[in-house]
Each structure stands twice: as structure tokens, then as C-alpha cells.
Amino acid sequence: MFDPNVIRKDFPILSKLINDKKLVYLDSGATSQKPSQVIEAESNFYQKFNANVHRGAHALGDEATQMLESARQSVARFIGGKEKEIIFVRNTTEAINLVAYSWGMDNLKSGDVVISTIMEHHGNMVPWQQVCKKTGAKLELIKIDSEGKLDQSYFKEKLKLKPKLVAFTHVSNTLGTINPVKEMTKLAHKAGALVLIDGAQAVPHMKVNVTEIECDFYVFSGHKMLGPMGIGVLWGRQEILEKMSPFITGGGMINEVFEDHATWAELPDKFEAGTPNVAGAVGLASAIEYLEKLGMENVRKHDMEIVGYTLDKLCKVRNLAVLGPKDADIRSGSVAFEYKGVHAHDVATILDSEGVAVRSGHHCTMPLHKSLGLSASIRASFNVYTTKSDIDSLVKAIGKVKQVFGK
């Protein structure tokens, strides 16, 4: 019963006109659109439940606290973790910084190795660069093969360096590649490393279960999975989180405070200093409910169908080179491409004039683009409301590029 044309009716923004043309939104990898259910859930919190949480002062505060904790329960159920292992943060970037600084500063020292990959979003590369610089640890990046998959033999070779941590993405936001997270986690653990997985581009499109993957940290953003901006999740294994120092300190995360020191609250509060984004968490829980109703198996099936359709159409366009694997089975969420002889920004501008919203630039993967000999590319990215007709509009608008540039 999964029909993107019916699903679209839940997304008010998709009926908007851009340049007098129907909006064709193909930038869901940057942020997804939100269904009315999510928008209403957030607004409902402010209209009926708004109070600060964890203060125990009055009934309204208790209701707000219950809503936050119920949202935590939804997230835990959705990814197969325990409630106390769900830390609410602002976004994926903050979750990775939390681990990099809290775990990294206490556990890395000169000579240690951290492994990441060339296909990482800057959000899963720059924090590791920074913490390695501060601690004297070395950052090693796994290369990709000619297809756009991580080079597994190179990975196995680098594991011989006995890294302390391996941090890699579940799905590449530029190549679309789905990495074999379970197998890589197993190998990394065998080498004695902890594993952090960046799930920003995976959680919106497929069933993720952290217990099955057996990783140590898994991070993602609400705004890419139909939820609000400003809410994200760090899932961490309880015994590891318990040993970690807090990242941000202050109110709400303490057990006791003395004039010269303080002791920390239990999980998850230890990592949630200050007033949390309760409305955001409530909106995220509503997005999860929406996705669960659609069924994540159906969401993934539709994702594969749209990726496959896009690959098929774009591979036939002259002067256009698709990045990443050509097989939709090992891809998710997006298709990026190079238009030979025309700058990515020019392509995107022409597409925009036709109402087609895509991303152009390096998509926060500068080292990956450099390794591919590119300074920029164009990315079309999808979500549950994307239709084949959206892709046809993209292809038609690309025809306009050909008209303008004669290439």
C-alpha cells in the first residue's frame, strides 16, 4: 500500500510553486520535508504541554517530562537500543563531537590510531582530525575502489595498526554506497577497536538495529528522517557511555554540586546538559511513528526503486557521469553526478529555474571529491515522497542544460 503519490498529500510544502512551477524537491539528503503529523506534534507540544523538564515542580512539568521520555522510548524501540543509551543532541555533527571529545580526549594518546574513510561527510572527519591533533593520535582514511565502495582489503591492512576507534558512515551522502556495517564492525572489534557509525543517511531509508550491527556508537539527525531540525541522537553502548566524561556540563546533568566540584547524573542525563529540545524530540517521535506506519521494509523498497530508476535514466544521458556504484541494491538515498564541461552550480541553477531543487557543490565531502578529481558535483536525493515523475522532471530539466550549453 506504499504509494508516494498518496504520501505526498501529507507534506504541505510539496504543493508549493517555485518560479511558477511545481516544486520538484530532490534535496532530501540535505534535509527531508516534514509531514503535517510531525509539524502538528511539535506545535501541539507548545500549545498543550510546554514546561521545562526534569524539575518535578508541577504537573505540567511532569507531563512535558513524560513526553520527552516517551520520545526516547520511541527512538530506542526504532533502532533496537535501550532507553538510557539514547542521548538527545542537536544533530549528527554534535553527536560525533560528543564522542570525539568525551571519549577521544580521555582515551587517545600520541601514537594511537583512529581509522575513518575518504567518503565521510566532514561531520565525521573534522572532529577526528581535531581530536587527533590535540592528542597526538594519527588519523588513517580508508580509500574507495573504482566502483565507489570502501576498499575492504585496504581496511583489513589498516586494522593491523590496532586502531583504538573506527568511525565510518553507514551510507555515503555523495556516492550513495551502503557500507557493510556488520562485517566491518566485526573486523574492527577483532582488531580491538571501538566502532562509531554515522547513520545520518541510513536511518531515513532502511531498518537499522544497533544490537544486530553490534557497533558501539550510532548517530543520526532527526531532520533527515521527516523529523524537525535541531534534534539528533547519539546511541552508545551503556557500559561505554557510563565510563565517559560529560561533554557539556552545567544544569540538568549533575548529581550533586559542591563549591569546587560536582558529580554526574546517571545516563542519559549525564550527556544532556541544559534545557533539551523537547518539542523536537516529540516531533522526532512522530516522524518515527510515521515511518513505522509505512513500514521500513516498504521505505527501503521504494528507495531502491527510485535509486534504480534514476541510475537507469541518468546513465543514458550523454556527458553525464554518475558517481558511486551502478547497482541500486548497494545504494541508498541519492544519486550524484558530474555534467562534463558544465560547472555543477550552473547545472543546479538551470534545474532550479525549472523548479527542480538539487544540491550542487562538494556536499561536505571535499576530500572525497578531490580523490575523484572533482571540485563539485550535482546530487539528487530522495525520500518517501519522491516519485518517478520527479525523476522524469529532473531528466527533462537536464535537457535544458544541454540546450543552454550545447553539450
Ligand X SMILES: Cc1ncc(COP(=O)(O)O)c(C=O)c1O
Residue 332 CB, shortest distance to ligand X, in Å, is 11
Nearest by Cα to 234 from 216, 207, 252: 216
Provide the CB-side half-sphere exposure for 383 (13 A, CA).
Answer: 28
Question: Does residue 121 interact with ligand X by CB under 6 A?
Answer: yes
- Which grid cell sits at 369? 571529491
Residue 243 CB, shortest distance to ligand X, in Å, is 25
C-beta of 123 vs 148, nearer to ligand X? 123
C-beta of 91 vs 383, nearer to ligand X? 91
Annotated catalytic, 315? Answer: no
Site mask for ligand X (CB under 6 A), range 345-364, x = bound: -------------------x
- d(CA 174, CA 177) in angstroms, rounded, equals 8
Site mask for ligand X (CB under 6 A), range 254-293, x = bound: ----------------------------------------
Question: Does residue 93 interact with ligand X by CB under 6 A?
Answer: yes
Maximum separation of any 2 CA atoms in the chain, in Å: 72
Type of residue found at 67: M
Residue 355 CB, shortest distance to ligand X, in Å, is 23
Residues in region 283-342 near ligand X by CB under 6 A: none
Judged by CB under 6 A, the number of residues near ligand X is 13
C-beta of 65 vs 169, nearer to ligand X? 169
Q: Are 28 and 224 in contact (CB under 8 A)?
A: yes
- d(CA 172, CA 160) in angstroms, rounded, equals 25
C-beta of 91 vs 135, nearer to ligand X? 91
Among 32, 124, 286, 360, binds ligand X (CB under 6 A): 124
Residue 224 CB, shortest distance to ligand X, in Å, is 6
Type of residue found at 182: K
Question: Does residue 173 interact with ligand X by CB under 6 A?
Answer: yes
Note if the bond before 268 is cis, omega within 30 degrees.
yes
Site mask for ligand X (CB under 6 A), range 221-250, x = bound: x-----------------------------
Site mask for ligand X (CB under 6 A), range 178-217, x = bound: --------------------x-xx----------------
- d(CA 213, CA 220) in angstroms, rounded, equals 15
Exactly one of 132, 215, 315, 364 is catalytic; name it.
364
C-beta of 102 vs 124, nearer to ligand X? 124
CA distances from 45 to 51, 235, 289 (A): 9, 24, 16
Q: Are 11 and 33 in contact (CB under 8 A)?
A: yes
3 state SS of 195: strand
Question: Does residue 92 interact with ligand X by CB under 6 A?
Answer: yes
C-beta of 121 vs 205, nearer to ligand X? 121
The alpha helices in 144-259, defined as continuous H runs, are 152-159, 181-190, 210-213, 238-243
- Which grid cell sits at 43? 506545535
CA distances from 400 to 87, 88, 300, 323 (A): 47, 44, 31, 21
Q: Which residues bind ligand X (CB under 6 A)?
A: 91-93, 121, 123-124, 169, 173, 198, 200-201, 221, 364
Residues annotated catalytic, as ranges: 364
